[in-house]
Structures are given as C-alpha cells and as structure tokens.
C-alpha cells in the first residue's frame, strides 16, 4: 500500500544521509518507527494526519531502509539518534513538532524530550512507557537479568549471533516472524535454540497487513540488512552511561501513552501496574493513558483508533507553538 501522493527526499543530518517520507502542510508531526520497521509502518497515519492539516514527516531512522547505516554499535546511542532528529528538524526549519514514536521510536522520542524538550510540542509514545534511568544499568540489562540468557535482547548483544540467526531466512520471513508475533510472553529462547526458531509465521495473514506490505518491507531490509537495527540494542549500555546527566529528569510537556492489551511490552513485569496506577505519571505529570485491544503494532492493527486518539490529543492542546 504505497501512497503515491507521499513525497520522498533525502536530508543531510548529523553526518548521515536520512531518507524521509512526508505529506501535508501545517504543524509538524514527526513519526518515529520501531524495530523491525520503516517509515512505511506509518502508512495509515501519514495520509490521515495530512488530511487533518498537519505536515507529516516519517523518516527511516539511522541504520534502517534508505537512511545511512554507519558501522559500529557505538554510533547508535540515544544521543546519536536524537542528534539525527534535531538535524532533521533544523533542515526542515521546524522549530517544534508533535512527536509520535513506537517501540524503539518511542524510546528515542522520550530521549528527545529529555535532551531537547524545547523542540517537542507534545509526545505520543506507543507501546513503550517512559521509565527513569536505573542507577544499576539500562532497562534492557534489567530485563535480561529477569529472563536470563535466552532473552532476545541478550542474544542480540553477541556480535554475529543474531546475524547468523537472521541469515537462515529471507528478510521478508524475518519481518513476518517479529511483526506477526501472537504470543505476548517475553521473547526468550531455550539454550539449544535461536530466537527465530521460537517465532512462527501464521498460515494466514491477519487483516491489518498484506503480502504487498511485506514485499515492500522485505526488499528494503534485503538491501539494508539488519546490522543497523541490531546496533540499537548493542548500544544500550553505552547510551545508559552517556545519559547520566539526565538522571531523575522528568518529562514536563503534554504526553499520551497508547498501550496494547496483547502487547509483549505491556505484559513485561511491572509495566501494566506502572502505567495504570500512577507510577509513570510521577515522571510524566501531564500524561494521558489509552490502552487498546491490540498487540504490539497497534498503529497498524488499529489504525483508525490510533489516528483518532492522535488527532484528538493534538487538537486538545493550545494551537500556538
């Protein structure tokens, strides 16, 4: 489902060339995708927001799709990725934007608010809530200690292991295994198996995604590979060390969190309670919470509901930036 009226161009930012898709005019809305996705994961939001009077900007993040992929995980810290976003906003002459992020895109969006709150009009985070910096190490390090050696994040840390695992399949099949994940238990493999061994592709596709969608995404990942996306995971402890100056800082701009009842993140230990009983609001005081009857990819599974929540949230805020 490629929208022909979506325009594409390349921006020089923070030392890399970034591919962006954009449509519409008006206040800027920046859409940040997750793993393993592309600008294309926002295919349902881009035209809807453009019709509603927004300038919608959806980049392929560093290491993904048609955006440059520097070698070395040290080039994928939160500061690097946020630097790319600031450079993008500067190149487009956007002073402030509504920022929407899903999965890793939500993590980047939260860090963007920590580092440069002045550039964010409001934030919407899909799936991943804001959590304050742990003094003992990153959130992924904590999750690894809970789930053990077979946890997918731990497996992704070992250079070459995930590449070999993914290399047994076509890029399209790898994407299907992650995007069509039906079990919301943690992605954790036994000792004698790799991560993709435990992820199955259903016999029929759900109604919210098509073979054409996977054809497009598969071709993009076949060209660019998965090393860039894996480097986000491999840079987590370096990001944790570098973000020490922002420890205990709150997010004090309007925020909307959209969770999914069947989302693996929402069912991670303590997340549901943290989101629903005020724990997150201690760190994000201007927070609204919505939980949809969906899985991890709620913006694709429930696009009309997500679009409605986005536009209602944006419209509820003062118009002056």
Summarize pLDDT for 218-272 with one digit per residue, the tens: 999 999 999 999 999 999 999 999 999 999 999 999 999 999 999 999 998 889 9
- Region 123-138: mean pLDDT is 91
Q: What angle do CA 233, 237, 238 make, to 5 degrees?
A: 100
Catalytic residue among 76, 233, 266, 274: 233
pTM of the model: 0.95
For tokens 């519409």, the residue is 24
pLDDT at 2 over 70: no
Q: Which of 44, 111, 283, 296 is catalytic?
A: 296
Q: What is the pLDDT of residues 177-190, one digit of tens each?
A: 999 987 777 788 99
Catalytic residue among 80, 103, 165, 263: 103
Q: Within 13 Å of residue 13, how many CA atoms lie on the same side as its CB?
A: 27
- pLDDT digits over 211-230, tens only? 999 999 999 999 999 999 99
Please indicate whether residue 233 is annotated as part of the active site. Answer: yes
Share of the chain above pLDDT 90, in %: 84
For 308-321, the pLDDT digits (tens) are 999 999 999 986 55
What value does the mean pLDDT of the chain take? 94
Tell me whether strands 28-32 and 97-102 are parallel, antiparallel or unpaired: parallel
Annotated catalytic, 118?
Answer: no
Could you confirm whether 44 is annotated as catalytic? no
Q: pLDDT tens across 149-206, in order?
A: 889 999 998 889 999 999 999 999 999 999 998 777 778 899 999 999 999 999 999 9
Q: Tell me the C-alpha to C-alpha distance, in Å, between residue 129 and each of 104, 143, 153, 165, 179.
A: 11, 15, 18, 29, 20
């Amino acid at each position: 489902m490629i929208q022909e009226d979506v325009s594409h161009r390349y921006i020089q930012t923070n030392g890399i060339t970034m591919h962006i898709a954009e449509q519409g005019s008006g206040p800027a809305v920046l859409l940040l995708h997750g793993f393993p996705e592309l600008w294309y994961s926002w295919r349902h939001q881009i035209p809807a927001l453009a019709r509603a009077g927004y300038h919608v900007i959806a980049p392929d993040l560093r290491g993904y799709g048609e955006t440059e992929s520097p070698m070395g995980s040290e080039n994928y810290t939160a500061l690097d990725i946020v630097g790319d976003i600031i450079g993008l906003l500067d190149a487009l002459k956007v002073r402030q934007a509504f920022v929407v992020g899903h999965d890793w895109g939500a993590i980047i969006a939260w860090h963007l608010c920590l580092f440069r709150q002045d550039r964010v009009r409001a934030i919407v985070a899909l799936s991943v809530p804001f959590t304050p910096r742990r003094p003992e190490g990153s959130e992924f390090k904590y999750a690894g200690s809970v789930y053990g050696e077979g946890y997918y994040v731990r497996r992704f840390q070992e250079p070459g292991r995930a590449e070999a695992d993914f290399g047994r399949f076509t890029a399209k099949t790898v994407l299907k295994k992650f995007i069509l994940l039906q079990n919301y238990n943690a992605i954790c493999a036994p000792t004698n198996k790799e991560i993709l061994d435990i992820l199955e592709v259903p016999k029929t596709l759900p109604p919210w995604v098509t073979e054409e969608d996977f054809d497009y995404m598969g071709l993009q990942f076949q060209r660019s590979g998965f090393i860039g996306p894996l480097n986000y995971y491999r840079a987590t402890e370096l990001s944790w060390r570098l973000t020490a100056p922002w420890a205990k800082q709150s997010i004090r701009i309007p925020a909307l969190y959209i969770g999914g009842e069947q989302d693996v993140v929402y069912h991670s230990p303590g997340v549901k309670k943290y989101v629903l009983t005020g724990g997150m609001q201690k760190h994000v005081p201007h927070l609204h919470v919505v939980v949809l009857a969906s899985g991890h990819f709620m913006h694709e599974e429930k696009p009309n509901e997500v679009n409605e929540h986005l536009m209602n949230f944006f419209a509820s805020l003062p118009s002056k930036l």
